[in-house]
A = this chain, B = another copy of it.
Amino acid sequence: VSTRSAASHEFEDLNGNADRLIDRVRQGNRRDLARALSYVEYGGAMAQAIGRAAWANASGAHLVGITGAPGAGKSTLTSALIKEERLAGDVVTVLAIDPSSPFSGGAILGDRIRMMDHALDDGVFIRSMAARGHLGGLSLAAPQALRVMDASSPSRIILETVGVGQTEIEIAGAADTVVVVVNPGWGDDVQANKAGLLEIADIFVINKADREGVSRCKRDLEQMLDLNAELLDGWRPPIICTVAVNGEGVSELDAVIRRHEDHLRDSGRLVKRRSARVKSELEKIIALTLTQRALLFAGGRDFQLALDRVLAHEIDLYSAAELLVSQATPD
């Protein structure tokens, strides 16, 4: 047996294994779903084979992003929302992105434990994910994980991220329906970038609405929407008040999410939004593929020579990069 055919055998095995794994995921095997997600998190060839198989078996589940400041009550809200959906008989899958920061405000593990209310419920699958290790970071690992979850045909996927950091915001902002969670008192602060929220929010939730300052917070949000009316594309983000800990307002939120889903489908915006998401991810993957090539030749002699000249302050980094890229003639 030649090396070449052995390698191609291995490749077929990989794809075959991925196909079989995703087939079991489709049939609702949760242990295999968990396993497939671990592969994706780990990265490498098997992750890509699984991503391929999952994409070929996409169910097109609705993706709801929930984001907000640490402590806004996102996890409690997610948990309450799951309860609501389970009453409707829906199967729900949750991907919770752990911030990669070693500081992290808010009791994240505590929140996860709270979600364990649903641990024994077969109609609920919760997975938390950290960015570490995956090449290309969260912005590539999260969509791969979401595709694997999607292959299990849930009626809805909830993606929960803490709304801090460039990457974290982008990930949540790419969902079909983006729920932004704030608390009473939000907006009093000088630096809150109110208009920045508008760029991503489809629905606003004022959680902990049993506290003081709800009407002012609501007025602030309405005003922001009025001021930016020309940016709204046929949908004015509703503002829902909730007290997630006791479930208040959560069924209304659930209804509004469904209304937004209908709006997206009926207006043809769902297809557009998803195409845009795939396009932007494809661009990122191309960039990553090219970067890997770049790193390959970063191990080479030309790179070292250029780096030495930079370190000697003879040329600057951007000129060195130009030089190296124009020298490089991949294949």
Q: List 17 A-B contacts (CB under 8 A).
A: A55-B317, A69-B101, A99-B165, A101-B166, A104-B164, A104-B193, A107-B189, A131-B166, A162-B164, A165-B165, A165-B166, A281-B317, A282-B298, A285-B317, A286-B294, A286-B321, A290-B291
Q: Work out how many copies of this chain go into the complex.
A: 2
Contact B102 A192, beta carbon cutoff 8 Å: yes
| A168 contacts B by Cβ under 8 Å | yes
Scoring A52, A68, A109, A166 by chain B CB atoms within 10 A of each residue's CB, the highest score goes to A166
Question: Which B residues lie within 8 Å of A279 (CB)?
Answer: 307
- Interface contact A103-B192, CB-CB below 8 Å: yes
Q: Give 1 or 0 for each of A31-63: 1 = CB within 8 Å of chain B CB.
A: 000000000000000001001100110100000
Shortest beta-carbon distance from A67 to chain B in Å: 8
Chain A residues bordering chain B, tally (CB within 8 A): 78
Q: Assess whether A114 is interfacial by the CB under 8 Å rule.
A: no
**Taking the complex as formed, is A289 at the interface, i.e. its CB lies under 8 A from any CB of chain B?**
yes
- Complex CA distance for A168 and B164, rounded to whole angstroms: 10
Any chain B CB within 8 A of the CB of A240?
no
**Knowing A55-B313, A313-B56 touch, does A290 contact B325 (C-beta < 8 A)?**
yes
- Any B CB within 8 A of the CB of A268: no
Report A99 CB to chain B, min CB distance, Å.
7
Using a CB-CB cutoff of 8 Å, which residues 259-280 of chain A contact chain B?
274-275, 278-279
Docked pose: A16 CA to B217 CA in angstroms: 52
Q: Quick check: is A225 within 8 A (CB to CB) of the other chain?
A: no
Q: Does A255 contact B (CB under 8 A)?
A: no
CB distance from A103 to the nearest CB of B (A): 4
Residue of B nearest to A271 (CB): B311
Interface residue A316 (Cβ < 8 Å from any Cβ of B)? yes
Q: Is A287 an interface residue (CB 8 A)?
A: yes
Determine the chain B residues whose CB is within 8 A of the CB of A104 once the complex forms: 69, 164, 189, 191-193
